Amino acid sequence: MKGQVALVTAGARGLGRGIALELAKCGADVWIWDSDEAALINMKEEFASQGYQIGIAMLDLVDPILLREAYEKLLQETLPPQILVNNAGGSLHTPFRFLEESDDDWNRLIDLNLMTTVRLCRLVLPGMVSANYGRIVNLGSKAGRYGSLFAGANYVAVKGAIHSLTLQLAQEFGPHGITVNAVCPGAIMTERVRGLLSERQTPVERERILKEIPVRRHGEVDDVSRTVRFLVSKNASFITGSLIDINGGQVMST
């Protein structure tokens, strides 16, 4: 991975930040795109203090014009990415039920989760095809695999669409030396998730859910970032079209 260009979206906090750090530790030339300028600057300074130089760009990842402009600028400064981690996404932070979700709610999540992933893949894949090599990891979700009353129908649906997109791209671009996989985390204890759990669940409910996880703990950022590190490495060259569950066995694949 040393010297390879890695682009991580929504990489200034949470899972994205952890993934970016893991790739930087492996010697990748890491570039972070995020909408939070202050978090990006803080991250760049913190990484530099650890000896890792990263590139950053502040932009609205939902805007297709800004995405293309940012990518064109990236290509002026470095080589086309060999690694793409599509981490941008999220829910509406409200436990909506299906009949409460408006068209605007759906369109917002489709743009933020699915279309951002589609547009980034469109930008990066031509360079990967030319190089006959590439690694793409999309951020899916346990919710998109198995449903979730906690997340809402629109979030479940768009994450499921990302899973299907992952399988299709893996088939289409496998002959070009490109692997495409998705990681599907359960509850990973980022700062944001800790806050949501505190708002939505009582201590008794949290304890009950913890007992449903065979390994008896919630996930940590490292559980996801180290899985991504493996998937983008040359050691994972025969793994593509996989949806990797990272949920401590709370829901098991068959």
Condensed to tens digits (0 to 9), the pLDDT of residues 161-182 reads 999 999 999 999 999 999 999 9
Domains of the chain: residue spans and CATH = 5-244 (3.40.50.720)
Residue 140 has pLDDT above 60, yes or no: yes
Burial group, residue 14, by CB count within 10 angstroms (0-12, 13-18, 19+)? buried
149 φ/ψ angles, rounded to the nearest 5 degrees: -75, -15
Cβ proximity of 62 and 119 under 8 Å = no
Q: What percent of the chain has pLDDT over 70?
A: 94
Q: Nearest CA to 116 among 232, 10, 244?
A: 10
pLDDT higher than threshold 90 for residue 189: no
Active site residue 133: no
Mean pLDDT of the chain: 92
CA-nearest of 139, 164, 154, 126 to 61 is: 139
CB 100 within 8 A of CB 152: no
Q: Amino acid identity, residue 26? A: C
Interatomic CA distance for residues 123 and 218, integer angstroms: 35
Q: How far is CA 48 from the centre of its chain?
A: 23
Mean per-residue pLDDT, 90-115: 87
Residue 32 vs residue 91, higher pLDDT: 32
pLDDT, tens digit (0-9, with 9 covering 90-100), for 197-232: 666 667 777 778 788 889 888 889 999 999 999 999
Give every CB contact of residue 13 below 8 A, 6+ residues apart in sequence. Answer: 34, 36, 39, 190, 191, 192
Mean pLDDT computed over 120-126: 99
> Rounded CA gap, 73 and 40, in Å?
17
- Average pLDDT, stretch 186-204? 73
Report percent pLDDT > 90 for the chain: 74
Q: Please answer whether residues 30 and 20 qualify as being in contact, where contact means their C-beta atoms are separated by less than 8 angstroms.
A: yes
Task: Kindly indicate the confidence band of residue 78, based on its pLDDT and cuts at 50, 70 and 90.
Answer: very high
Q: What is the pLDDT of residues 9-68, one digit of tens each?
A: 999 999 999 999 999 999 999 999 999 999 999 999 999 999 999 999 999 999 999 999
Res 213: pLDDT? 87
Residue pLDDT, tens place only, 79-88: 999 999 999 9
Confidence (pLDDT) at 59: 97
CB 183 within 8 A of CB 216: no
Q: How far apart are CA 181 and CA 16, in angstroms?
A: 16
Rounded mean pLDDT, 144-152: 83
- Phi and psi at residue 219, to the nearest 5°: -75, 155
Tokens standing for residue 164:
């299907």
Residue 251 pLDDT: 83
7: three-class secondary structure by DSSP = strand
pLDDT above 70: residue 90: yes
What pLDDT sits at residue 95? Answer: 55
Provide the whole-model pTM.
Answer: 0.93
